[in-house]
Amino acid sequence: MLAAAGPTGAATEPGELKGGVAYTLPQWFKPSFLDLRQDVAEARQRGRHVMMFLHLDDCPYCARMLKESFASGDNRDFMQKHFDVIAVNVRGSLEVRWIDGATYTEMGLAGHLKIRGTPTIVFLGQDGKKVLQINGYRDPRALRAALDYVQGKRYLSRPCADETGEQTRLR
């Protein structure tokens, strides 16, 4: 019986993702034509910030972060109230117009932003400048610290830790 099921320990192709987890992006994410200039202008009119959720299909850490912070709870409610959340697939081929007018594919934008892993969240200020980038999974408490930092516009008086805009220890 087991032999009919196929090989157990079959080799994978180089670069193949193992342990992937399928997920669905929340329906409440902002539908976007991926013209970030327009998205920032719309967010500014509503007193909000743009929050880009850069993800990879079947990424287990993306799935975990979505489940823990975006599916329900205080963080979800806070994000829905204060942020326009836009999904960008780091291997996607959709055209994205960046703040300076340059056009990239989703994958090209990930390279431009120096995305090193998924999920990555990029927050844009109401002027369109990147005010914070957090690379990798963050638990709900750490994500909330980032949300409070951006929503409270603390980036205006306390800049991020380094020139990439990555802030790994928010207080």
Question: Which pTM was predicted?
Answer: 0.83
55 within a domain of the structure (yes/no): yes
- Residues 73/15, Cβ–Cβ less than 8 Å: no
66 within a domain of the structure (yes/no): yes
Is residue 171 predicted with pLDDT exceeding 70?
A: no
Between 17 and 21, residue with greater pLDDT: 21
Structural domain of 44: 31-156
pLDDT digits 0-9 by tens, 52-85: 999 999 999 999 999 999 999 999 999 999 999 9
Cα–Cα distances (Å) from 53 to 4, 48, 117, in that order, read 42, 16, 12
62 within a domain of the structure (yes/no): yes
Q: What's the pLDDT at 156? A: 92
16 within a domain of the structure (yes/no): no
Is residue 3 predicted with pLDDT exceeding 60?
A: no
CATH number, residue 152: 3.40.30.10
Strand-pair partners of 89: 55
26 within a domain of the structure (yes/no): no
Between 6 and 77, residue with greater pLDDT: 77
Nearest to 68 by CA among 155, 143, 133: 143
Is residue 17 predicted with pLDDT exceeding 80?
A: no
**Domains: count for the chain:** 1
13 within a domain of the structure (yes/no): no
53 within a domain of the structure (yes/no): yes
Between 169 and 93, residue with greater pLDDT: 93
Between 1 and 81, residue with greater pLDDT: 81
4 within a domain of the structure (yes/no): no
* Segments in 66-135 forming alpha helices (H): 74-82, 106-112
Q: What is the mean pLDDT of residues 120-145?
A: 96
pLDDT digits 0-9 by tens, 85-121: 999 999 999 999 999 999 999 999 999 999 999 999 9
